[in-house]
Amino acid sequence: MGFPGTWMTESESVVYRVVPKCACSTIGQIMYFADNGAFFDGDIHDATSGLHKWALEASQPIIEQVVKARKTYAFTCVRNPYTRILSSFFDKVCGIQRNGKRYRGNMVPMLVQKYGVQVGGDDGKQEFDQIASFRRFLLFVRDTILFKKPMEPDIHWSAMAGHVSTFIVNGGRYNKIIFTETFDEGMAEVLRKMKPKHAIDLKTIPRFNESEGHGPKRAHPVEDYFDDLSRHLMWEIYKRDFQLFKYDFANPANKMPLAEVDLDEVHAKLGE
């Protein structure tokens, strides 16, 4: 299986396991800049040089060797499950993508037809009941993750623990798991460890968000989207994410983690 979703600087100064919807564009651009002294012109997910990626065949043996040797600093980044799933909904379901089309072709029409989800019309800009539609979308997410119906779960809403675990199961070990919510603080520690060729000022770099502006703006506070049933579904789907990454399940309004991640616990529970 190898190390899907793993990126590494060409200088082999740091290894990163991508978790979708968790600042991955910004992290990728920082890694690219660290070696190349400039940001990639475009979406970093499209870069085919200047950064090792498991998706690039030539990079695979290099990444595998480095990860299994465990001498290079390895990290990933996680995010509050409540805000992550909301971001996925507004970006991937309601939003028009960079290519001018809906995400995954027939997925959105199927959601409209089978689950009664509204997405703001053909252009995603019309008014609609965001809360009702999001809750219906959450039923769809539950069906994909627990029953693999009506389709396999999408990487943008499959559990973070699943993404994080492949790295461990195949022989890697994390030195750090940072939080999107305290990004500058966590990334500063990563930069200290990786000693980049080109210095990076976290306070002045742009935030690279490939989903920004794709979909409608969230019209309500996070907690308004999650009634009792929605929270029950969230626990059913993302229980391990809340527990392992120390997020506050009881209070959707609190996006901040409650404690640092216990790396030993993560490796023990996700390495089984």
Percent of the chain with pLDDT over 70: 98
State residue 15 phi and psi, 5-degree precision: -120, 140
Listing DSSP states for the chain in one string gives ---TTEEE-TT-S-EEE--TTSSHHHHHHHHHHHHHSS--SS-GGG--SSSEETTSGGGHHHHHHHHHHT-S-EEEEE--HHHHHHHHIIIIISSB-TTSSBTTTTHHHHHHHHH----STTTT-S---HHHHHHHHHHHHHHHHHH--SSPPPTTTS-HHHHHHHHHHTT---SEEEEGGGHHHHHHHHHHHH--SS---TTTS----TTTTSSPPP-S-GGGG--HHHHHHHHHHHHHHHHHTT--SS-TT--S-SS---HHHHHHHH--
Question: With the CA atoms of 121, 122, 123 and 124 taken in that order, what torsion angle do they form, in degrees rounded to the nearest 10?
Answer: 40
pLDDT at 144: 96
pLDDT at 208: 81
Q: Letter for the amino acid at 192? A: R
pLDDT at 214: 65
What does the alpha-carbon distance between residue 198 and residue 10 come to, in Å, rounded to a whole number?
13
pLDDT at 212: 58
Domain boundary assignment for the chain: 1-95+155-216+238-272
Residue 79, C-beta contacts closer than 8 angstroms, at least 6 positions apart: 19, 21, 22, 23, 160, 179, 180, 181
How long, in residues, is the chain?
272
What does the alpha-carbon distance between residue 221 and residue 200 come to, in Å, rounded to a whole number?
33
Low-confidence ranges of the chain (pLDDT < 50): none
Neighbouring C-alpha atoms within 13 Å toward the C-beta of 218 = 18
Residue 46 structure tokens: 């499209």
pLDDT at 187: 97
